[in-house]
Chain A
Amino acid sequence: MKLNSGRSRFHTLLAISILCLFLFSACAPIAAPAASGPGPAMVEIRLASYGLGDAWNNTLEQTIDGFREQNPNISVKVEFRPIDAYWDKLQTEFAAGTAPDVTINQMNWVIPGAARGMFVDLVPFIEADQVDMDAYFYDMEPEWGWKGGLYGGLLYAGGQVLYINKDLLASAGLDFPSAGWTWTDMLSYAQQLTDPDNDQWGLYISPLNPPYWGASFIHGAGGAVLSDDRASCTLTSPESQAGLQYIADLIFEHKVMPAPVTLQGQENPFLTGKVAIYFGGTWQEGQIRQAGFDWDFAHMPAHPDTGIRSVQMGSNAWSVLSTSEHVEESWQLVRFLMGEGGQTGMMANGVPGLTAVVESDDYLALHQPQDISVVTSDFANYGHDYYPTPDTGEWWSAVGQELSVVWSGEATVEEATERACAAVEEIFARRPAEWGQ
């Protein structure tokens, strides 16, 4: 009798639990019904991007309107999210199976995600649609390529830019630097433009740590941050150390550049007219344009002995999530955004990668009186990738931590690079065999 009573109770509880499950599942979001009737079914794809202000957001929406007109059977829902924690959120959405179909990507997210199966390889689609990749002056493969695949379609051709405050040059009686200027010339300029009594500095570099702009000095001196196969750290080579030493000397020996630590909590000194020569990023052009002084782009200086001039690139891409149920339609959107429609639509806010667009009168006129072709030609001729690897985040952090004490004067370049490479090698030793780098 007791046994029967227990079984009865068990069955009743089981029935209630199942009922609850039904109720929970009834609360799940309802999928949108597929369009019925004649003609192709309507497909909705979600594109996620971090919001960069109303102007940028509206430009993206208007650019995508062009895609909507061309593809009436594809509905694009644009989701703007805060840039802070964007990557964290995308990872958790991917894990939960709720990720968007297409996402904006920063340069250091693409390969880490691609190596872990997060993004769709675009090469088969590019080949099938016969997209002319030679039409781009900006090579995407070094930045977003992984094991023969390509995991990002170009949004902007971003990277390092050399800005010059022409008003400060004029005050010092200096001509605008020529295309063939060297590190020696730049130092001479910086010395003449530094005025400690007025808190005025000759030059400034930010962000500094490799693989950001400090890397261009390492390359100029003939060094590298990582080996060609990205399997070992080469910061301890004499050439790499010489490149970093040049920067350290700008701060401590020649005193023409402020130590980064002295600018914590301060506005960018180039924007306030306190720096004459500024190694910054393409994304800062809009701010600089509003700074209220005369300025222009300059060519990267070359190393006086090696003759090497190098510019760091690092761009934004569009990627298709591998969880997407509409990969073909998502690819069509990425193809549009990296194509003429997208590149022209977004060109007011960044450097396009299509040669035809960057050479167009409309694009050049957007930047006048400044000469943007200086930037795009340096990218095309002297551009260097940012050493993308699946463990980019971890080794970047290690290098940044170890080199930070060089810029505060607490360690020599030799000490810091020895420690940085030891830390990087420790991280690389944990790499899974499947990466096979």
Chain B
Amino acid sequence: MVTAVSPFCLVLIMQFLPAFRRMPAHIRGEAIEGYLFIMPWLAGLLVFVVGPIIASFYLSLTDYEVIRPPTFVGLRNFDQLVNDRLFWQALKVSSIYVFTSVPMGLVLSFAVALLMNQRVRFVSLWRTVYYIPTLVPVIASTMLWLWIFNPEFGLLNMLLALVGIDGPLWLGHTRWALPSLILMSLWTVGAPMLIYLAGLQGIPTDLYEAAEIDGAGVWVKFGNVTIPMMTPVIFFNLVINMIASFQIFVQPFIMTEGGPRYATLFYVLYLYQNAFQFFRMGYASALAWVLFAVILVLTIVVFRSSALWVYYEGELRQR
């Protein structure tokens, strides 16, 4: 309904904006059409994204139990965060997950992409095989991995037993539960692999030919042509996966509920528990804003560092 009515209002309001009125008639007409076309998206953005963001910031400054009106408490929620051991535990768990699963995923998906870029038989089939796990609904894959990690009947411990290793309790042990979920994250390397593959196929072959003429071997070509040319893609995958990994929720929610003994209490899971199970929506909103700040800072750091390691063809660097 908002989407349906808002174009009408927009057109009416624009008629009276000075800058808009100064436009020549034909440009004004184009502008109206342009805004009308983006209006459904714009209305959705305002109502379903910008609105909740503003609301959550206000709620982070309140004591809000959802079913009762919020009470303004200033910065008390943020103050409580500092002394909340579970907040620090959740931040630690998510950080360990991000700083291990993201690099591992980037390396593995890049390696698989290199393999999938070779001229081998049935390469289309192999590419499909590696990509399929990303299409499996997360609930289904989670149930599958619960079975794989089962210490008594699971596939993983059965394979370890074949080489004489007595496998751990995986999700049931405080030391192994988080590594289990990190291992499981590699299940979806197919998505970044596909992006890497597109990047690899976009590298001009004349660069490799020029390197070969200069006597470069496989590793030299890899280090001096492939890697530099792929850095924009690596940069993209790094940023996207880092942000997504900080927001992991479904897997710990279904598989471990944050346990055993908070070993897999991921940040967003703790946020959800506070919001809907503990009646602490104001506190959960504060948690959300802290997570936003953490991700923002890390993203800025990655962007700033990109000047040192990301290579764009045709760019001029200041020395």
What residues of chain A have their CB less than 8 Å away from a CB belonging to chain B?
9, 12-13, 16-17, 19-20, 23-24, 27, 87-88, 91-92, 94-95, 112-113, 116-118, 258-266, 391, 393-394, 397, 400-402, 404-405, 408, 410-411
Contacts and interface: CB of A to CB of B under 8 A. Distances in A.
Contacts of A16: 9, 12-13, 16
A260 B150 CA distance: 11
A404 B279 contact: no
B146 A265 contact: yes
B261 A118 contact: no
A117 B67 contact: yes
A265 B147 contact: yes
A394 B147 contact: no
Contacts of B245: none
Given A261-B171, A408-B172, A9 B16 contact: yes
Interface in B5-54: 5-6, 8-9, 12-13, 16
Contacts of A258: 152
A87 B276 contact: yes
Given A23-B5, A24-B2, A91 B149 contact: no
A408 B169 contact: yes
Contacts, number: 116
A13 B20 CA distance: 14
Contacts of B153: 266
B1 A24 contact: yes
23 contacts: A20-B5, A95-B67, A113-B67, A116-B67, A258-B152, A261-B173, A262-B151, A262-B169, A263-B150, A263-B152, A265-B146, A265-B147, A265-B149, A265-B154, A393-B273, A393-B277, A393-B279, A394-B278, A397-B273, A400-B257, A401-B262, A410-B173, A411-B261
Contacts of A266: 147, 150, 153
Given A17-B9, A262-B150, A404-B261, 17 more contacts: A12-B16, A19-B9, A19-B12, A20-B6, A20-B9, A23-B8, A87-B276, A91-B276, A117-B68, A118-B67, A261-B151, A264-B151, A264-B255, A393-B278, A393-B279, A408-B172, A410-B173
A413 to B, nearest CB: 14
Contacts of B9: 16-17, 19-20, 23
Nearest to A94: B67
Nearest to B11: A16
A145 B105 CA distance: 52
B192 interface: no
**Interface size class for chain B?**
35 or more
Contact of A400 (B143, B147, B259): B259
A265 B68 CA distance: 38
B11 to A, nearest CB: 10
Contact of B260 (A95, A391, A408): A408
Scoring A9, A265, A402, A405 by chain B CB atoms within 10 A of each residue's CB, the highest score goes to A265
Contacts of B68: 116-117
A264 B5 contact: no
A401 B260 contact: yes
B180 to A, nearest CB: 11
B94 to A, nearest CB: 17
A264 B13 contact: no
Interface in B254-298: 255, 257-262, 273, 276-279
Contacts of A95: 66-67
Contacts of B1: 24, 27
Contact of B174 (A12, A19, A405): A405
A410 B174 contact: yes
Given A20-B9, A113-B67, A408 B149 contact: no
Interface in B226-271: 255, 257-262
B276 A264 contact: no
A23 B262 CA distance: 50
Contact of A397 (B66, B149, B277): B277
A300 to B, nearest CB: 28
Nearest to A27: B1
Nearest to A262: B152
A92 B273 CA distance: 15
A402 B261 CA distance: 5
A88 B281 CA distance: 11
